[in-house]
Structure 1
């Protein structure tokens, strides 16, 4: 059958995808989109790497400078604590009896000098081992002194070190009665020094200097932006000395992966959890701290992202201009071709006196002019008799075409479905596709036997169409055992049985919602059992009894008398089962409680396989 108009055979690509306009648009889009996307991608990657290198270099210098400033501050505290060795009287005063008030005053004075030497010192605690005297000096109160046989418990772990720093903790008064100016919730770190009788190693006392975090915080806050970056200072054990988050100060750093990284080298960077981490170790004889700065990728690559957005916006604008320009040019090129095709279709249908109208001074105008002259010549050469004969033949052809070929209808449904898909109506496409598949399945007379999978798919398509009709008033399920899917069976068994529900059972639903369930199983004796259940109106007992009697008569080979509409479908199904299965396949029908009908079909698979082999 020749193609006419927009007729598309099954499997052909729709004409709009093969048109000059479509190809021109596709070419222009590819020719512009691919280079633009490559340019944007390369620019983004290059900019990202450049910004990353610059940011890393800047932050490494910044962290190094911060490390230097913190180190200098700690060195000042260390130097201030060394005054105990520079004052020759101080070591002698530690060994004197507590009642020597002059010695006590000199000790007080030296401790106050240490306190005034370096800013940020909260309090100083001194314990003399020989005189068993503990002394506490604070800026806001008078010095305190009392007898203690051992130093305060927090200083004991550091007696074995010459110098050491205790991690950040809450401030306390070293066991002395608190004063009104005590700030027990203030965070401090403590510089510990063990005082020995040089050159011997005999311990004369311990010195503990509490230092507020103000100075360290002031240094660290210059190294990061609190809004979108993080910075922590941790010791070798993972204790947080300082953090931009107050709740972390004095706690263990929970991110073990970060600790594992910073223990490997003295400085460097690494990427983890969507952020860049830059770190620098601060190592002195009395501490081993590490400054770690976390920069989220969103912050690190912010400029690259902004540049990419700008490039993308420019690319989209350029693409839109190209699309509209291409559409305009393609319309100017293809519109004359479409118009000429329309004239040709009308001429092909027998309308030889077509009024060809196209006024243009370009090549298309010349083409239409020559085509018009050609048609005038043809009309003048054709005699009246030939025109009458042609008209007669045309009428005969139209009469033949009026007998619509089912395959043409199937192809037409496919074309309409494709058009619905192009107009973003996928549901219409799905319904038309289901209807086309049902028609094709029904029209295919060559396959008398099909598999249960094919038969169930045909029933599912039918139920899908009914679902579109009834909406939420209908539910269905198809549960087939895997070993039954490939079993051969006669065609058109399930759909007529399901259709009975919509003919007789949907009128008086108990709760207004209909349900159909299809199930299958394979019995050990090789019998395929298919069960179809619905919750529709039950069959009246007298009618059910008559239907069961007619089924039994027909399945036993006797002549059955089917008179009502309900029984016609059962009659047709039973006839198919008998035609393709002579081993006594059966069909049973019964009511189920509280409402509904169950139809059970039992098919001997050996019989259907034998029949299939004979036909092949």
Structure 2
């Protein structure tokens, strides 16, 4: 949780503490009922909104489906018309002539063949034009059916039609009027054209291009129909990016169809894709579908103004109802709790007097067996108990003074002991007893290090110095048979370590190593090494003692991290074997201190080979101490 969020929560908590109990109860009573009502209202409103949007989307998809069906029918009609045009034998013979025709022959083609051709093909009023553009130099133009192909060679779609090798090509043309052509459609009316290359009888040589046109308002009949939902409008987007739709639609009152399409990412999905967006704070819903056969995107643009107004109206109604409900709950809660809290107010006044120091206040008689009555009973007993405790406190203060005097005496005894050791050291030096002087120095250093416990963490070199003092003192007992060897990397001398973590391990090595040496004159070599390994510092304390049997070694390592109850059970194994000195309590204490300070991934591990050696491996996070502060590397 961030600092700002925590601060905000603490501020709310502090504010609620200042409120009276009655206000808190009213708030809790209102919240317990008010929150579920708000959540239910919010859920219901969202469900209604989702239902309205789902129904709106379904209606839009139905409109798209109807328009796609109309498009398929019109494509089939134009394709069928194209098949009829290319299958007319007399027309094909005329288009494939290889010599000039006389005037009589041309008039026959115009009056008989072309007129009957037009009548047969134009019997459907939705077909706007059927044209045959030919590059045959022997064919004369007969308007408006037979024309020279040179008239359309500059059209952008001409090369695309040639690439189709006789397959159909669909193109939306904004201006399909040819100069000088009679009875052409209006220049401002776009058309959908069906284009197809036709060839000579050998089916390999280009002869011309067939063009069948249908007004866009007929091809996309529902898109350009004025009888439809005023809140939605179909839009056609051609492959060129041109947008065609019914400009007078109410949907485009605020924004044009081009502006709205610019907010929609068109895809090549032949299914239905829905997108809700805003343009200048006005919400719209776009449902699109791609028609790959004519390379056109069909988009149903829905204005959500009326829908949002309905949702907003429902929100206002819910807010008013919830506000009235909250006001009613507050009044009801206040009336009920004023009756319940009257006895608490009496109890509060009595407590104010006790707080001012008047313990002889007349205690109120709070009757009843409910929680308030029980509170009054305990309050009376509390006052009586306080008077008893006041008397006991006087006796405790006297005992505390006595304890302070004893602590001061112990402190004086410690200083006396240090001073005595210093005096013995000086006396030994005067008498030339330098061995005794060195022992006193080591012993004094040990005592001062162990008794001056200002903090739990020290440098590793301080711990090693304590071990040196300890081994010096113990060598008096073992006639100098203890050999302490150090191999510490310089960067580890300032390593942070727990105070008194090395001496128990060295003490354990001396106790068990020397007691089981193979010969009385053998030396016990104890080696302390410290190296840095990436982010860790590894300290090893090894000895050349008798080692530990394998079964016992496994148990000792397990006992380091056992739960307390399991550890006590394991210790009983050593008790039954009368081996009290080998129960691993010192090692366990050191390991637990390391785990508490650094975490479970750090601590100690015991390695040993019976009759050869014992090694304690201590792993610490690499941390450098300096200048009295901890600096982390």
Shorter-chain TM band: 0.3 to 0.5
Larger of the two Rg values belongs to structure: 2
Q: Which structure exhibits the higher relative contact order, with contacts defined as CA atoms closer than 8 Å and separated by 6 or more residues? A: 1
TM-score, scaled to structure 2: 0.43
